[in-house]
Structure 1
Amino acid sequence: MIDRYSNPEIARIWELENKFNIWKEIEILACEVRTKKGEIPEEDFEEIRSKARFKVDEILEIESKVHHDVIAFLTNMNSYIGPAGRHVHHGLTSSDIGDTALCVQMVQAMELILRKTDQLIEAIREKAIQYRDLPCIGRSHGIHAEPMTLGLKFALFYEEMRRNRSRLQTAKEEIAVGKLSGAVGTYSNIEPDIEEYVCERLGLKPDPIATQVVSRDRHAAYMSALGVTAASLDRFATEVRLLQKTEGREVEEPFSVGQKGSSAMPHKRNPVICERISGISRVVRSNVQTALQNVPLWHERDISHSSAERIVIPDSTIALEYILDKMLFVVKNLHVYPDAIERTLGITRGLIFSQKVLLHLIEKGGITREDAYSIVQGHAMAVWADQTQTLKGRLAADPKVQEVLNPDDLDAIFRIEPYLAKVGLIYKRLGLE
């Protein structure tokens, strides 16, 4: 991922220095347990442990000749270890090191993603509580539907992100495996207890069964969890972008002092952070497809997945952590304009109460649903066409309606409060009391 959309802490996980350090740790741990088993002399292991080191630039130079990164790494590290290096990588294949290290890196990255997710969930929770009772308009198809509260928008995002957190945690647990089982996973030249020891020290579990590699359905599930989470962030970013449109300007993402919105138009206050979240989310989601295509490898392994993974796994984790961070900033600093929200509620001049009118005509007047619908829709279409009219005013002047609904009935129907009566129940279900 380019530096522009990377936070340093998670980017460091995917640097070659960190990867090679994990490789070194795996090789040393494998030698350590073999020493405990009496397979390596103590003095040789001390040589390995004390002298094992590498230099990234030297590894890359060797790789340019041998075209194999693990061989280049081992050649470089053993040049520092000396003769005792003959014990290193005994009975292992390259994927024992590479795949196990990749799983460690994916766990490390997910821990940062989960930490940021927890911070975002808490920020959303606070906004949901703060705006629980602030009425706003609910929309379907982009058209005003019925009243709801701004808090419910946050509450929905809160619960959605809690589900995402559960998916991310499951993905972390599923990828937290290692394999040191040899060329096709049969432990032909290494004992399973070595794998168990190394994995335990790395915070992993041994993969119950592997080929030359850890099966890529695990990686696909991990990437899918990232993709769904990114989609949720895009959904709420889009909500903010729509609510920030000049016609309503009900909410607005933070706009800092000195920030510029346009090179041509000095007045512009664009939702650029949310637009960035939406754009980067598309990258994360599209990378899921690559991860899915990496699942069907040939027989016990081919290398078609490797080049793709070196791009999409680091990029996706870095990108998701970045947009989580940006969404956290937006949520914590979101500008909310109650007057604009109230004004927007009224712009359809009562049309948003049409369903309650319909139901009252049916229930109180014994009118068929079809006839009641025809009455209400006829007045509603007239209000759409003539901005000087209101739905309540037209209904009050209709003799057919007057036979069923008196002025007090209409006053009761055209109140927002009944629409919000069950908000507390929803919050109770979510534990947002």
Structure 2
Amino acid sequence: MIPRYARKEMTDIWEPATKFKIWYEIEAHACDAQADLGVIPRENADAVWKAKDVDFDVARIDEIEAVTKHDVIAFLTHLAEHVGSDEARFVHQGMTSSDVLDTCLNVQLVRAADILIADVEKVLAALKKRAMEHKMTVRVGRSHGIHAEPTTMGLTFARFYAEFDRNLARLKAARAEVATGAISGAVGTFANIDPAVEEHVCEKLGLSPEPISTQVIPRDRHAMFFATLGVIASSIENVAIEIRHMQRTEVLEGAEFFSMGQKGSSAMPHKKNPVLTENLTGLARLVRMTVIPAMENVALWHERDISHSSVERGIGPDATVTLDFALNRLAGVVDKMIIYPENMLENMNKFPGLVMSQRVLLALTQAGVSREDAYSMVQRNALKVWEERLDFQELLLADDEVVAALGEDGIRAKFDMDYHTKHVDTIFKRVFGA
């Protein structure tokens, strides 16, 4: 990803220097295990650890790779330059490149997942705070973009909280899915290396041994990981879209924080655009576009091919770096966004009382009116509110059939706003606990 949409903590995971350090640790731990098994001399295994504080020269490795056309061989050659050719002759004993590449990739994905888990927790904290602040801040709920019935801003934040809480569980499961390593040798049979080596390396790196690897770790694991990132990106967009709609001039029920000195338009000085959430909508697309390639990586030829490799070199950094940035931006937007309760009430009253139509409908049926007749009675008055901006309650009070069924006091009683918020506490307990 370009630096504009990247945070250093995450990009560091994908730096070549980090990758080579992980490769080194895999090889060194494998040598330790081989020495413990008596396969290689202990002094050779110990010699490999002489490079534990080395900053591997990325340019030198690239130089070697230009000749070898093989990145792992280039690294091993460079490692021998630090350790000594004789001392390093048992490095990579019985291993294949995928043992290093796949195990390293999963270490990187696990580290990335740990950052993303912390990011989601930040979003959850921001959403919970705003939900509690606006638990009973009444606003109109909309279906198809049209006024429906009253809800609260707290419930809006709470449903996003619940969605991200599910995302947290998904992300933890995705982390576990890719937290495997493989040191099984060519075609994954352990013919030239003891399974105990794999167990040792994985333990040292915080992974579990892959139960069965065909030289590569099965890519259904990675498909699940990236699919999870795609779902989280869609949840980010879900929140972003709501905020963007809230900030429309004719709605203005909420808005992104507009900082001192900020400019909204090069041409129109009055503009305050929802640029951060628009940006999040775009970033969500970038994350989601990594999902299909990850799915397509599942099908490899026989025991392995490297059609997945070029894809993962791109989508690994791109998806995790972008999502990390987006989650942090979202947490900030939610935490700082401005809420306009007075505009929420004003918007709801643009068509006075109309959002109470269902309650009147239900009251009529309970009073003995057929549903078809009740619907007709309510709709004929509701349409006048749409067309003439009249007061719905006043229209009902002037409708003899409705008055005959409900009485004037009965009609007025159906316009009590508390009716629509009476179960907010129950919903909050379900979402946030007691």
Q: TM-score range by the shorter chain?
A: over 0.9
- Conserved? CA contact 2:403–2:411, under 8 Å: no
The DSSP-based 3-state class of the residue aligned with 2:290 is helix
Q: Are 1:106 and 2:116 matched, yes or no?
A: no
- After TM superposition, give the deviation of residue 405 of structure 1 in Å: 2.0
Q: Confirm or deny that 1:334 pairs with 2:343.
A: no
Question: How far apart, CA to CA, are the structure 2 residues paired with 1:105 and 1:274?
Answer: 29
Offset at 1:76? 1.1
Which secondary structure does the structure 1 equivalent of 2:139 belong to? strand
Distance 2:33 2:358 in 1: 73
Contact 1:129-1:432 at 8 Å conserved across structures: no
Structure 2 CA distance, aligned partners of 1:380 and 1:292?
Answer: 50
Aligned to 2:431: 430
Q: Which amino acid aligns with 2:30?
A: A
**8 Å Cα contact 1:138/1:144 also seen in 2:** yes
The aligned counterpart of 1:71 is 73
CA shift for structure 1 position 161: 0.4
CA distance in 2, matches of 1:239, 1:159: 15
Change (3 A) 1:139 1:51: closer
When the two chains are superposed, the root-mean-square deviation of aligned CA atoms in Å is 1.0
- Partner SS for 1:184: helix
Q: How does 1:288-303 map to 2 (within 5 A)?
A: 288-303=291-306
Q: 2:196 aligns with which of 179, 193, 196?
A: 193
Deviates more, 1:260-269 or 1:49-58: 49-58
Give the Cα–Cα distance (whole angstroms) in 2 for the partners of residues 349 and 65 of structure 1.
77
SS in 2 for 1:403: helix
Is 1:402 aligned to residue 396 of structure 2?
A: no
Aligned 1:20-419 pairs, distance under 5 A: 20-51=20-51, 53=54, 54-82=56-84, 83-364=86-367, 366-387=368-389, 389-419=390-420
Moved more, 56-65 or 171-180: 56-65
Residues 161-220 of structure 1: per-residue CA shift (max 9 Å, x gap): 010000000000110000000110000100000000010000000000000100000000
Tell whether the 8 Å contact from 2:32 to 2:46 is kept in structure 1 after alignment. Answer: no
Distance 1:116 1:217, change over 3 A: same
Aligned equivalents of 2:298, 2:360: Cα separation in 1: 56
What is the rounded CA distance, in whole Å, between the counterparts of 1:297 and 1:337 in structure 2? Answer: 54
Residues paired across the two proteins, number: 431
Cα deviation, residue 432, structure 1 = 4.6
Whether contact under 8 Å (1:125, 1:432) holds in the other structure is no
Task: Write the distance in 2 (CA, Å) between the matches of 1:400 and 1:185.
Answer: 80
Show structure 1 runs of 5+ residues with no match. none
Inter-partner Cα distance in structure 2 for 1:391 and 1:123: 38
Distance 1:151 1:157 in 2: 10
Using the TM superposition, give the Cα deviation of residue 45 of structure 1 relative to its aligned residue in structure 2, in angstroms: 2.5
SS at match of 2:149: strand
Distance 2:37 2:277 in 1: 57
Match of 1:136, SS state, is strand
Is the 2:258–2:272 Cα contact (8 Å) retained in structure 1? yes
Partners of 2:197 and 2:42 lie apart in 1 by: 17
2: distance between equivalents of 1:246 and 1:316?
33
Equivalent residue number for residue 3 of structure 2: 3
* 1-structure distance, mates of 2:197, 2:41: 16
Whole-Å separation in 2 of the counterparts to 1:217 and 1:155 = 33
Which deviates more, 208-217 or 28-37?
A: 28-37
Contact 2:236 2:284 in 1 (8 A): yes
* Whole-angstrom CA distance in 1 between matches of 2:253 and 2:159: 18
Q: Is the CA contact 2:175–2:225 (under 8 Å) kept in the aligned structure 1?
A: yes
Q: Which amino acid is the alignment partner of residue 428 of structure 1?
A: K
